[in-house]
Amino acid sequence: MPSAPTTSTADLQEFLAAARESVNRQLGIWCARIEGEIGGPVGEAMAYSMAAPGKRLRPALVIAAHRELGGSGDATELAAAVEVVHTYSLVHDDLPCMDDDDLRRGRPTTHVAFDVGTALMAGYRLVPLSARILASGAATLGLPDERLSAISTELYRAAGASGMVAGQVLDLEAEGRSVTLDELDRIHRCKTGALITASAVIGGLAAGADPAAVDTLRAYGREIGLAFQIVDDILDMTGTSEELGKTAGKDAAQHKATFATLLGLEEAATAARQHAQSAIDLLGGHGIDSKLLTGLARYILERKK
């Protein structure tokens, strides 16, 4: 098999910076719109949550897959819709009844900056907002209704009871007890991996990729999603709150099983590398010659927060 295409670190960082800037610009437009339309604490809390600085990895995946699978036009607004769904999940994940955290992306969590009721409502309101942004982004790209329908199904299935919601339930049920590696895989293929997988698939769908290419993107997304979570678990054990922008050591404090605790740091790092390499091999094995998607798989391993 030919070696995977490579992109330089500088080129990848340039892409990530450009994607982050363009997505942040779109989020800023919608923040201003929502504050004007909704107003009050809920509108302010929605804007506060959306404006929090972040890696914007999921929207970058949308943009990269759209570009690399032959898409034309600007997929930024479509990608921003995915980031809004991710933001909703973070707002609710941090609530006292869930993971009970007070630091996210280097700032007080939404329920700390406002209050629990406001954060709860802001999180709920972010979901229909994401649908508005998704529709606007599809219109910008001139996508037909059936393609928007497929993209919407992909996004909200990942966000719902068979995706992130299921993962959160399983994660809460696993607190304080021993879990197997298979159980941990299932939790994080849902809680973390579902939206990462959907991001890659949505980019391919928006580009009009054929079903075989979309299936490859799905398999690629599943592998990098698990690699992302394993690295997250390692960083939670080895990083500081200042470095991570969120509370370090939270998993241990809540007696959660993680890949780092279950496998040990060295074996967990090996597993992350294996999943990332599997993602890269899947692309090459199915004829997707993408420096960006290959680079993003490697970036997931190298990130520090």
SS3 108: strand
Percent over 70 (pLDDT), the chain? 94
d(CA 211, CA 26): 29
pLDDT digits (tens, 9 = 90+) for 183-197: 999 999 999 999 999
Q: Does residue 248 lie in a domain region? A: yes
Q: Are 91 and 122 in contact (CB under 8 A)?
A: yes
User: Which residues have a Cβ under 8 Å from the Cβ of 288 and sit 6 or more positions away?
Assistant: 68, 69, 213, 216, 217
d(CA 241, CA 212): 42
Q: Does residue 76 lie in a domain region? A: yes
Tokens of 250: 């939270």
Q: Does residue 147 lie in a domain region? A: yes
- Given a cut of 80, is residue 241 above it in pLDDT? no
**Domain boundaries, position 246:** 9-302
d(CA 240, CA 227): 20
Query: Would you place residue 160 in the very low, low, confident or very high pLDDT band (cuts 50, 70, 90)?
Result: very high
Q: Does residue 73 lie in a domain region? A: yes
- Given a cut of 60, is residue 2 above it in pLDDT? no
DSSP result, 167-208? HHHHHHHHTTS---HHHHHHHHHHHTHHHHHHHHHHHHHHHT
User: Which residues have a Cβ under 8 Å from the Cβ of 14 and sit 6 or more positions away?
Assistant: none
d(CA 129, CA 301): 32
Enter the pTM of the model. 0.93
Mean of all residue pLDDT scores within the chain: 92
Q: Does residue 2 lie in a domain region? A: no
Residue 235 sits at the vertex; the CA angle it makes with 234 and 241, to the nearest 5 degrees, is 150
Q: Does residue 3 lie in a domain region? A: no
The size of the chain, in residues, is 305
Query: Would you place residue 177 in the very low, low, confident or very high pLDDT band (cuts 50, 70, 90)?
Result: confident
pLDDT digits (tens, 9 = 90+) for 19-74: 999 999 999 999 999 999 998 999 999 999 999 988 999 999 999 999 999 999 99
Q: Does residue 1 lie in a domain region? A: no
Domain count, the chain: 1
Least confident of 118-122, 142-146, 162-166: 162-166
d(CA 255, CA 269): 21
CATH of residue 20? 1.10.600.10
